[in-house]
Amino acid sequence: MFNRSRRNLASWFTLTMGSILIMFAAIVYYWEVIDKLEELDRLLYKKTSVMAANVKSELHNSQRQLDLEHVPLLGSMVQPLPDSQLVYASWYDEQKQLVQFFGTIPSDRLSISGGFDTIKTDSDVWLRQVTLPVYQNGSLIGYLQAAMPMTATESALAEFRIVLAISAPITLGVVALTGWWLGGLAMQPIRYNYDHLQRFTADASHELRSPLTAIISNAQYGFLSKTTDLEVQRQRFHKIFDIAKSMSTLVSNLLFLARYQGKLPTESLQVIDFNNLLVQIIDDYATQPDAQHLSLVSKLPNNSITVLGDADLLRQVVINLLNNSCKYTPAGGHVQLQLFTQSRWAVIQIIDNGIGIPEADLPYIFERFYRVDKKRSRQTGGFGLGLAIAQQIIQAHGGKISIKSVFQKGTTLEIALPLIPI
C-alpha cells in the first residue's frame, strides 16, 4: 500500500514537474529564436542601410534621375561591401518597378512596401529578406530589397535544440528521482502513524481480551454453578467487578490519550503556583499505602514559581510519576521531589533509589502499553499507559519530560514547563 502510494506521488510529481519543464524549455527556445532573428535583422538592416545611404537622386529638366553606380553591389563604380553575406539586392523605383539588381533575378514588380520576411528558395535554403523604403528630402525615391542566408542562425538554433534535447531528459530523470525520494519522505510520518496505530490497536485489543475473557468465564461459571453458597457467589461477582473496574480504567486512559492531542485550548489554561500545587500533592500522597514503606521528602524553593496550564492535568502527571517511583522503590528507600527554575523553565525532578530501568528499555519507556516488567505490571494492575499519558500532557503544555535511570540503582524523572514571562 505504501509503495503504491509512494509511486503515485512520485509519478504525479514527475508528470507535473515534467510538464512545467517542457513548457519552460519551449518558452526558452521561442525566445532564443526571437533573439537570433533580431540579431540577424540588425545585421541585415545595417548592411542595407549602408547601401541605401549611397543612392543619389537629382532633378534634371524637372525629371528625377538616380545614380546607382556608386551603390555597393548594385553599382559598377564602387567596391562591393567586404564580407557582405548578401545573396541578392534589388532596387525598385517609387512605382515598385525593378530598376537594377545583384544576384538572383528578382520579380519585375515589388509586391510589398517594407519589413522583414523569411523566405525559402527553390534549393531549400532559408533566407532573411528586408525591404527598405528609401527617402531623400522627405520624398520616396524607391525601394531597396536585400537578403541574407540563415545558415548560421539555423546552425546555432540546431545546437541549442541538441542542448535542450539532452538536458531535458536528464533533468526529468533527476526530477523523477527527487519525486521518489520526496514521496518516501512524505510517506514516513504516515507509515509511522499507521504502524503506531496498528501496534496500539493490537495492544489495546490484547489488553481488553484478557479481562473480557475473565468476565465471560466467571459469568459462565455463575450460570452453570448450582451452589447456593452466597459467599462463593459474592466472590465471583467481586472478581467480575474488579475486572470491569480495571477495564473502565483502561478505556478512560485510552480516551484520554485520544482527547488530548496537540496544544490545550486557551480557555482551559490558568496561572498555577507550582509550589502550592506540589505541597498539596505531597500532603495528600504521604498518606497513601505506596508511600508508607519509604521516605518521601520534598525540596521546594521559598519563592513562587508560576506556570500557565491545567492544574488537574499537571496534578495527574505528578501523581502518576510519584506512583511509579514509590511502586518500584523497595521498603526503606527514599523518593525525593524537588522544584527549581532553570533559565526560562520550571523544572520538577522526582528522584528515587529503586530498582531502576535497564538501559535497553529506556528508549521505549514512553511508548503506550510498553512495560519493562510485564509480569510485575500485571500484578500491580498497570497497563503501561502512565508515562505515555504523562508525556502527552506535558507536551500539550509546551514542556518536556525525560528520564534517566541506572538499573538496580535508581531513576530520575524530570519535567520542564515554560515559565510565565514577567
Return the CATH number at 68.
Answer: 3.30.450
Grid cell locating 325: 517511583
Q: Which of 199-203, 230-234, 241-245, 247-251 has the lowest mean pLDDT?
A: 199-203
Q: Is the pLDDT of residue 376 over 50?
A: no
Mean pLDDT of 153-166: 91
Query: Which of 156, 181, 212 is the last residue in one of the domains?
Result: 156
The answer to whether residues 388 and 367 touch, using CB atoms and an 8 Å cutoff, is yes
Instruction: Answer yes or no: do 288 and 152 share one domain.
Output: no
Residue-wise pLDDT tens digits, 293-342: 888 888 888 888 888 888 888 888 888 888 888 888 888 888 899 999 98
Instruction: Answer yes or no: do 10 and 140 share one domain.
Output: yes
Query: Which of 127, 156, 185 is the last residue in one of the domains?
Result: 156
The pLDDT assigned to 103 comes to 85
**Residue 374 within any structural domain of the chain:** yes
**Residue 375 within any structural domain of the chain:** yes
> Nearest Cα to 141, choosing from 76, 60, 56, 71?
56
Q: Helix, strand, or coil here: 138?
A: coil
DSSP track, 13-75: HHHHHHHHHHHHHHHHHHHHHHHHHHHHHHHHHHHHHHHHHT-EEEEETTEEEEE-TTSTTT-
**Residue 106 within any structural domain of the chain:** yes
> Nearest Cα to 299, choosing from 346, 345, 354, 350?
350
**Residue 220 within any structural domain of the chain:** no
Domain that holds residue 87: 2-156
Position with higher pLDDT, 197 vs 173: 173
Mean pLDDT of 373-401: 69
**Residue 236 within any structural domain of the chain:** no
Instruction: Answer yes or no: do 272 and 406 share one domain.
Output: yes
Grid cell locating 144: 531597396
**Residue 197 within any structural domain of the chain:** no
The pLDDT assigned to 38 comes to 93
Quote the number of domains for the chain.
2
**Residue 369 within any structural domain of the chain:** yes
How many CB atoms sit inside 10 A of residue 377's CB?
17
Residue partners of 118: CB distance under 8 A and separation at least 6? 126, 127, 128, 129, 150
Beta strands in 150-244, from DSSP E residues, in sequence order: none
**Residue 258 within any structural domain of the chain:** no
